[in-house]
């Protein structure tokens, strides 16, 4: 069963790589946020389905496409001719950039969705605040987990499976990122406008 699923995924990745990886990442981002909400106190209303949808949208329209391009880019850099070199590059330039962009896009989407006066300037300011407050702590946790996982990916997995590998392990990582993004958003949004400091 698992082998047939892997073969089906490989065919989809070869025929429509961009779409396949975007949809995969979207689904796993949504699952990660559901897991995050399951592990944290919820309101009487239960799961925040709007938040799940927004996280899935970030996976579909940002992180999935970016990871597809990024892993292809890494594989084409001739000086990264060993798995340890790819891991070192990934965990310095790559991880910092991708994590910062996740926080930025998530905060931007949250504030733009809420609306209000001058949403774009407030969204950009809140996004910058969220990156500044959360990036360093997130990277410390990242460096305790992802170097080993990505070394395995670069050393042993074909290119078409790397986004899937990162996304499957990323369910748990995305739950953590979602927690930090939405907890950190309280202070970031609150510093810009008190009326947007509630749970997103």
According to the model, what pLDDT value does residue 54 have? 92
Q: Are 160 and 117 in contact (CB under 8 A)?
A: no
Q: Which range among 41-45, 48-52, 107-111, 192-196 shows the weakest confidence by mean pLDDT?
A: 192-196
Q: Are 126 and 113 in contact (CB under 8 A)?
A: no
Digit-coded pLDDT (tens) for 118-166: 788 888 998 999 999 999 999 999 999 999 999 999 999 988 788 778 8
CB-count exposure of residue 128 (10 Å: 0-12, 13-18, 19+):
middle
Other C-beta atoms within 10 Å of 105: how many? 18
Q: Are 171 and 163 in contact (CB under 8 A)?
A: no
Distance of CA 68 to the CA centre of its chain: 13
Structure tokens that stand for 173 in this block: 């990582």
Mean pLDDT of all residues in 111-123: 83
Distant-in-sequence, close-in-space partners of 11: CB < 8 Å, separation ≥ 6: none
According to the model, what pLDDT value does residue 55 have? 92
Q: CA–CA separation, 137 vs 155, rounded Å?
A: 28
Structure tokens that stand for 135 in this block: 């990036």
Q: Which range among 65-69, 125-129, 174-178, 190-194 shows the weakest confidence by mean pLDDT?
A: 190-194
Q: Are 10 and 33 in contact (CB under 8 A)?
A: no
Mean pLDDT of all residues in 5-13: 79
């Amino acid at each position: 069963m698992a082998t047939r699923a892997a073969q089906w995924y490989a065919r989809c990745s070869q025929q429509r790589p961009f779409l396949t990886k975007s949809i995969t990442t979207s689904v796993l981002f949504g699952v990660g946020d559901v897991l995050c909400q399951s592990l944290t106190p919820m309101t009487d209303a239960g799961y925040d389905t709007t938040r799940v949808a927004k996280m899935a949208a970030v996976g579909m329209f940002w992180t999935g496409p970016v990871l597809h391009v990024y892993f292809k880019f890494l594989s084409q850099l001739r000086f990264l001719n060993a798995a340890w070199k790819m891991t070192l590059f990934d965990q310095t330039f790559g991880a910092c950039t991708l994590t910062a962009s996740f926080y930025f896009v998530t905060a931007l989407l949250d504030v733009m969705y809420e609306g209000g006066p001058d949403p774009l300037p407030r969204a950009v300011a809140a996004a910058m605040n969220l990156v500044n407050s959360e990036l360093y702590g997130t990277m410390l946790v990242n460096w305790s987990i992802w170097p080993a996982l990505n070394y395995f990916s670069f050393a042993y997995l074909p290119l078409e499976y790397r986004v899937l590998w990162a996304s499957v392990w990323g369910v748990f990582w995305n739950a953590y990122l979602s927690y930090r993004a939405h907890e950190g958003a309280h202070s970031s949004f609150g510093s810009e406008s008190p009326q947007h400091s509630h749970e997103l």
